Structure 1
């Protein structure tokens, strides 16, 4: 069923249906060049009520009913025309002055009633300065306030990301890293600010049993500061102090299950005092204050990378068997890259696995071009195959500066020709055994990420993802409250050397964080979309599901799928050698779409991780 742009932009319903066929997310308008392009204005921007889309092959299919005609049709009046009769009744009561007065009164009353109804019953719209979405309501409000106070889109993204590091300490924080995409609509320029951590210089082949050896150099603060130096409007101190206030004033705990899952692990006394006081996991709604972390944010960059805080981090890591040094911390450099290719989907380059996403989408496009009338079960099957094949190709992308073959590998992944070869090699009848699967996928089963997406009045699109890697990172907390990452678990491990690390000097491991920006294929007219994923198991699978619907599947399907029984889908999937696991997950995608001056929030949450 085709959905008009007006319907898509104003839809307020909550949908739960089978698979990922979502006309509401259809971006086919990107290809349309028939409508004239209107220039963007700074104000007003209309924020429509957010639409929430749920994905997962265990969800029920939405029933579609044809729209009934709302206005009158000729058929409705045919039976009444015969009742109309000519009359000689005096119509003098409708003299012109009286008629005009009556009509005027009725018209005025109607306008008044319409205005009152619009105020109380109309769609929630507001003249605002931009839109920000994040994983936490308080951080969303904080970032939105930055925009209202005249901050740039990047200012708001920084405040939101730092706030998430406070209220979601199991996901991200200043002890971790991440990546930010910034697209300037007017300049048609996209920058990648990579503040992922890297390995200590002295780390060679080491075993990872010790928590201290899992810690990489934190890049969060330096990366966000670099972004601010390029795009900031408010002062750095102003932006950071807002997140510091959240840590000082306190917040309510929301994800107690994350604490419960690590309770049985070997934890420091400081960790227990913070999250498991008196050997009791914090209950939902518990109020927590971290004044030490507020001090860290306000201390500034010099203290973190060159002063007392860097010494504190080194001491804590070494006390837990690690080798991270102050020199490693002080020498950290943010990677800044500018896209030069005129491509429609913007993803971070290596060491990010963004190329794997593009490759998987290319595979799916080829599949749908070659396969007619695919069922829902077959679609799930092909997405699983495409992700698996893409990850196999991405295994070597974690060392771009030290491996001359990476550029060639990247070119092969993004071209269409290898896609045709892979389509011939992919086994549709049965999934290969697990030993043929990429080691990348097995290493990221616990990856979580904080996500912030912004579109502001400065015509900047920002998508940022930050992470400690697994929940609570290395589970090491410094005296000031900094939770340190477990970044080094991201390095590729072979099955024969599980727990053994292979690195090269200052290498950054393969990064599966997925900030994404999509721009019109031609010129500046069309739909702009910024997305980010919150991680979870099978992060690449989740984002590929949603992106495949937005850019591939919707081209080959004009309506939502008919309802299939769950048993049929599961039997088909298991017959092909996949394992379907029913479990709740935090894996989801948030984003913002903009067309001219209309902005819409997108929340797409996968209720169940489907295939492994």
Structure 2
């Protein structure tokens, strides 16, 4: 049983009244990321925001050598002197950072963001940083992601203008999947997180595997403060199910800000650090997974676990608002996101401004609803099974749960302009609500099966709405580049509309009001407890259009971003997830 050692006050400080998010000072926000330089132009709707210039220039400018008079020399010397004085004054007054920055990592937890940048400082790649941060999130946000889940990763080299890799580590249906049984254990897919992260590290990592895993071990063993998201997610626990008593007994006493240690998970991660990912899929850890599934009414075998492999997929690309948008292929939510953006192409005629107009919000809602209905009809599924014939009635029992979509996102950028976006998760808050003896929670990904091409089948991966995203400006190689992602394509579409159509800066794009689509009853869920909330004018317009609005309780899904414009780097972690991005 995981231990709870003492309590302490919540680490979140009072937010700035003019800047959204749980930040300790303006320097930690996207509006003032660091003091090294200023960037102008795209990405801020006219706002001037402090940026972060990378050590290696993306675009070097030429120097104007005209003029040789003494007056010009003197004026230049005076201007340079004043500029140095002003820069030093600003740096002394504001900055913690004294060196030219190298990269950035944005996650749902401040410590996990720092884990990523520490990896970069030690010579690791953006993939190393993303893997380490994802493992860290499995410790501090065990209700969202972890060893018992799955996900997707995209790796992009901006210098080479190409996608280096797309890694699919989505959960897989076991050989004995039975759609007539509806128990927590029957919804558990074979976990893929560790295989996927290990594959990414093997292909694109620089540091030893142990160096990547051990930061998560240290945090699990020494402890961390319970995030507000974990505390709020307890409302989603089913207290009447006997199968999950271990999880209930562990989670029920938790309070936000409480100091928590996870000794069982620390021991599991330490074993993985020493012996590699194979130890998870064979031996005692695997047997404990099988035991948890069997005790909850499911059937998974040693062969199911031992045979799991992550898969390298192709990337898809589309143009939206003069940007190239790169996403993974099926079974990720990438195709669904591109379909949504295609329906939103009419928004391009109304660029700029401070926020979404009611008409644009209605367009977003309609496009998202349209795409989700297409998904429910089974037009997308595991590409390895597209040629098979399936009974359309086979997966109807799961249709209502296809809309579940919970995960955590990591964005990482390194000195070599390698961009990495990872979305991983348990599929729902606390997944299947099954806590193993080794300290991690199992997914409920098999609830995402449906009909048609997404019908359940042994060895098949259910279609997901999660997708990592890379967006690059088409007209300028060194223009705006964005690393983002979401566990819900509707949220990703809203974020891209804020960024690319309205030309909002990163902070305001992420913190802007968002809504969630409910399927089958023409309902939209509003984040009433997020600041800022959706305007009354927008809500009234949605109601007039025929949508039924409902209030959505916390926790809310988060979306994190790292952005580069020219050689300036900035980032923002969504306050909904409680994170703060890290740069150095």
TM-score (norm 2): 0.72
Q: Tell me which residue corresponds to 2:485.
A: 532
Aligned residue for 2:170, secondary structure, equals coil
1:261 aligns with 2:222: no
Aligned residue for 1:517, secondary structure, equals strand
Per-residue Cα deviation, 1:162-185 (whole angstroms, up to 9, x for no partner): 000000010000011111110012
Give the one of 384, 390, 409 matched to 2:365: 384
Is the Cα contact below 8 Å between 2:432 and 2:442 reproduced in 1? Answer: yes
- 1:525 and 1:342, CA in 2 relative to 1: closer, same or farther beyond 3 A? farther
Q: Tell me which residue corresponds to 1:324.
A: 300
Q: What do you get for the CA RMSD once the two structures are aligned?
A: 3.9
How far apart are residue 131 of structure 1 and its match? 0.4
* Matches for 1:407-426 after TM superposition, within 5 Å: none
Aligned residue for 1:581, secondary structure, equals strand
Q: Tell me which residue corresponds to 1:400.
A: 383
Identify which range, 331-340 or 150-159, moves more after superposition: 331-340
Q: Tell me which residue corresponds to 1:192.
A: 166
* Matches for 1:318-397 after TM superposition, within 5 Å: 318-339=294-315, 344-366=324-346, 376-394=357-375, 395-397=378-380
How far apart are residue 119 of structure 1 and its match? 3.2
Aligned residue for 1:182, secondary structure, equals strand
- 1:110 and 1:594, CA in 2 relative to 1: closer, same or farther beyond 3 A? closer
How far apart are residue 238 of structure 1 and its match? 1.2
Aligned residue for 2:484, secondary structure, equals strand
Q: Tell me which residue corresponds to 1:457.
A: 415
* Matches for 1:299-310 after TM superposition, within 5 Å: 299-300=271-272, 301-310=277-286
Q: Tell me which residue corresponds to 1:93.
A: none
How far apart are residue 505 of structure 1 and its match? 2.7
How far apart are residue 188 of structure 1 and its match? 2.2
Distance 1:240 1:322 in 2: 30
Q: Tell me which residue corresponds to 1:546.
A: 495
Distance 1:311 1:574 in 2: 51
Q: Tell me which residue corresponds to 2:524.
A: none
How far apart are residue 143 of structure 1 and its match? 1.1
Aligned residue for 2:232, secondary structure, equals helix
- 1:234 and 1:578, CA in 2 relative to 1: closer, same or farther beyond 3 A? same
Q: Which runs of 5+ in 2 are unaligned?
A: 1-28, 34-40, 47-52, 59-74, 390-395, 513-533, 578-584
How far apart are residue 229 of structure 1 and its match? 0.5
1:571 aligns with 2:540: yes
How far apart are residue 571 of structure 1 and its match? 3.1
1:595 aligns with 2:575: no
Aligned residue for 2:457, secondary structure, equals coil
Distance 2:102 2:85 in 1: 30
- 1:160 and 1:114, CA in 2 relative to 1: closer, same or farther beyond 3 A? same
How far apart are residue 11 of structure 1 and its match? 7.0
Give the one of 116, 141, 147 matched to 1:168: 141
How far apart are residue 113 of structure 1 and its match? 6.1
Q: Tell me which residue corresponds to 1:149.
A: 122
How far apart are residue 603 of structure 1 and its match? 4.5
Q: Tell me which residue corresponds to 1:286.
A: 258
Is the Cα contact below 8 Å between 2:129 and 2:412 reproduced in 1? Answer: yes
How far apart are residue 459 of structure 1 and its match? 1.9
- Report the number of matched residues: 469
Is the Cα contact below 8 Å between 1:143 and 1:156 reproduced in 2? Answer: yes
Q: Tell me which residue corresponds to 1:313.
A: 289
Distance 1:383 1:189 in 2: 29
Q: Tell me which residue corresponds to 1:127.
A: 100
- 1:458 and 1:575, CA in 2 relative to 1: closer, same or farther beyond 3 A? same
Distance 2:495 2:316 in 1: 26
Distance 1:602 1:109 in 2: 33
Distance 1:478 1:136 in 2: 24
Give the one of 454, 479, 483 matched to 2:441: 483
How far apart are residue 367 of structure 1 and its match? 6.0
Distance 2:503 2:397 in 1: 31
Aligned residue for 1:183, secondary structure, equals strand
Distance 2:44 2:463 in 1: 29
- 1:358 and 1:216, CA in 2 relative to 1: closer, same or farther beyond 3 A? same
Is the Cα contact below 8 Å between 2:151 and 2:192 reproduced in 1? Answer: yes
Is the Cα contact below 8 Å between 1:44 and 1:127 reproduced in 2? Answer: no
Give the one of 488, 506, 509 matched to 2:462: 509
Distance 1:11 1:272 in 2: 38
* Matches for 1:195-234 after TM superposition, within 5 Å: 195-208=169-182, 210-234=183-207
Rg comparison, structure with higher value: 1
- 1:461 and 1:579, CA in 2 relative to 1: closer, same or farther beyond 3 A? same
Is the Cα contact below 8 Å between 1:364 and 1:552 reproduced in 2? Answer: no
Give the one of 215, 224, 228 matched to 1:251: 224
More helix as a share of residues? 1
Aligned residue for 1:347, secondary structure, equals strand
Per-residue Cα deviation, 1:19-75 (whole angstroms, up to 9, x for no partner): xxx984569xxxxxxxxxxxx965589xxxxxxxxxxxxxxxxxxxxxxxxxxxxxx
Aligned residue for 2:407, secondary structure, equals strand
Distance 1:493 1:340 in 2: 24
How far apart are residue 584 of structure 1 and its match? 4.9
Q: Tell me which residue corresponds to 1:580.
A: 549
Per-residue Cα deviation, 1:312-353 (whole angstroms, up to 9, x for no partner): 211221121110111001111111024386861111111112
Aligned residue for 2:216, secondary structure, equals helix
Is the Cα contact below 8 Å between 2:480 and 2:564 reproduced in 1? Answer: yes
Per-residue Cα deviation, 1:504-545 (whole angstroms, up to 9, x for no partner): 231111111121001232573322210022x4xxx3322211
Aligned residue for 2:426, secondary structure, equals strand
Distance 1:180 1:503 in 2: 24
- 1:391 and 1:342, CA in 2 relative to 1: closer, same or farther beyond 3 A? closer
Distance 1:363 1:451 in 2: 25
